Chain A
Amino acid sequence: MNCSMQIKAKGDKKTINCEEKAIFSNPNYCAKHFSKYVEQKTADTIKKFKLISPSDKICVAVSGGKDSVSLLYILKKQGFNVEALAIDEGIAGYRNITLDFLKNFCEKHKIKLTIKNYEDDFGKRLDEVVKKGEPACNLCGTFRRHMLNKYAAEYDKIATGHNLDDEAQAVLMNLFKAQTRMLGRQGPKTSKKDFVRKIKPFYFLKEKEIMAYAFLNDINVPFIECPFASVSFRGHIRDWLNALEAKTPGTKENIIRHYLSLTKKIKMDDASTLDECPLCGFPSSNGLCHACRLKMKL
């Protein structure tokens, strides 16, 4: 199949079809137009949801995966004032490899990279704590969010690589677990009351589209999985959603569009009920924040 992009012929007002071979299905675009499509969709999301103002200094939270690295690449390419922040949990055989990649990538593209590690903030590496029997992902996620808020405080926004798949999964997970309070963390940007506002310029792009973009633009992130990744509830939702999407294309997008139209109609009370954690001063709904509690337990 050929690329379905309509282009203007030189010196002509009429449009003609691009004659290159498509390298992607749905949307059917050639390599050049596929990259343009991804970049344009990112720019459109930023514009439509007013994610970035011209004076903003943006911190891109990078994990070394294709989503966050592609986001960093595109925001830099589009001329935004971006820096990268990575959190080193201390996971031997995994995080050191993704961090090496990130260091090279940021050096090559002249982007300032800051790396902060768990050990300095919480006294221990994640793999040490896990050895003692603590469940990895709960600790890992809580500390990571805590450190992001802490070290991104000097920036105007934190940009994350969350994509359409992540967001559709999150909407369903909240629904199935009846976690209404979490709704405020979703959407292309978090509420004004958030510590540092989080923005998701890839909100309308599928994971597969970002993967293809990374491939086409030589963003060769190492394929490596965290040794602590386990079959999770999210994993089940993801597999199920992918099966649905393959049968009924558009399912994922319908979920987030439905979510967006719902949130327009209901008043969100997400962060409005939050107090401050007496130890660290971060938002907390119930005395000590989750990160400080876990830290005391360790």
Chain B
Amino acid sequence: MEVYLEKTDEHKTISFKGTAKELLEKLGINPEEALVVRAHELLSLDDNVYDTDKIRILSVISGG
């Protein structure tokens, strides 16, 4: 799975299958602080994500 983390502007390739919530847990991100997006679609926390997905993690909080 390809994951883009907006907050740190990082691209990661990880092997993962599970829910969006579990993905955030694996990445150490609090679900209160992020939105999970797949192909311009917002995912709810219990949506499944798959190894072939391209995921963007948008940061809810920003400074300033």
Interface size class of B (residues with CB under 8 A): 20 to 34
B10 at the interface (CB under 8 A from A): no
Give the number of A-B contacts (CB < 8 Å): 61
CB proximity to B under 8 Å, residues A193-244: 206-208, 211-212, 215-216, 223-226, 228-229, 238-239, 242-243
A188 at the interface (CB under 8 A from B): no
Name the one of A23, A215, A243 contacting B30, with C-beta atoms under 8 angstroms.
Answer: A243
Chain A residues near B62 (CB-CB < 8 A): 65, 223-225
A28 at the interface (CB under 8 A from B): yes
Q: A212-B35, A246-B31 are known contacts. Are A225 and B64 too (CB-CB below 8 A)?
A: yes
CA distance A245 to B30 in the complex (A): 10
Per-position contact with A for B20-44: 1 when CB-CB < 8 Å, else 0?
Answer: 0100000000111101010001111
A246 & B32 in contact (Cβ 8 Å cutoff):
yes
Of B6, B30, B32, B58, most buried by chain A (CB within 10 Å of CB) is B32
B14 at the interface (CB under 8 A from A): no
Question: How near does chain A come to B31, taking the closest CB pair, in angstroms?
Answer: 6
Chain B residues near A31 (CB-CB < 8 A): 42
Chain B residues near A28 (CB-CB < 8 A): 44
Of B37, B41, B58, B61, most buried by chain A (CB within 10 Å of CB) is B61
A51 at the interface (CB under 8 A from B): no
B44 & A238 in contact (Cβ 8 Å cutoff):
no
Question: How near does chain A come to B18, taking the closest CB pair, in angstroms?
Answer: 15
A23 & B32 in contact (Cβ 8 Å cutoff):
no
A24 at the interface (CB under 8 A from B): yes
A160 at the interface (CB under 8 A from B): no
Question: How near does chain A come to B28, taking the closest CB pair, in angstroms?
Answer: 12
Cβ-closest chain B residue relative to A22: B44
Q: A23-B44, A25-B45, A246-B30 are known contacts. Are A229 and B6 too (CB-CB below 8 A)?
A: no
A94 at the interface (CB under 8 A from B): yes
Chain A residues near B32 (CB-CB < 8 A): 206, 208, 242, 245-246
Q: A208-B35, A211-B58, A246-B30 are known contacts. Are A225 and B44 too (CB-CB below 8 A)?
A: no
CA distance A239 to B28 in the complex (A): 13
B61 & A23 in contact (Cβ 8 Å cutoff):
no
CA distance A243 to B29 in the complex (A): 10
B63 & A229 in contact (Cβ 8 Å cutoff):
yes
A23 & B64 in contact (Cβ 8 Å cutoff):
no
Of B30, B33, B58, most buried by chain A (CB within 10 Å of CB) is B33
Chain A residues near B60 (CB-CB < 8 A): 207-208, 211
A1 at the interface (CB under 8 A from B): yes
B61 & A238 in contact (Cβ 8 Å cutoff):
yes
B46 & A1 in contact (Cβ 8 Å cutoff):
yes
Chain B residues near A243 (CB-CB < 8 A): 30
Q: A207-B60, A211-B58, A238-B61 are known contacts. Are A1 and B30 too (CB-CB below 8 A)?
A: no
Cβ-closest chain A residue relative to B33: A242
- Other than A25-B45, A25-B46, A216-B42, give 10 A-B pairs with Cβ distance below 8 A: A22-B44, A23-B44, A206-B32, A211-B60, A212-B35, A215-B42, A223-B58, A223-B62, A229-B64, A242-B33
> Residues of A at under 8 Å CB distance from B?
1, 21-26, 28, 31, 63, 65, 94, 206-208, 211-212, 215-216, 223-226, 228-229, 238-239, 242-243, 245-246
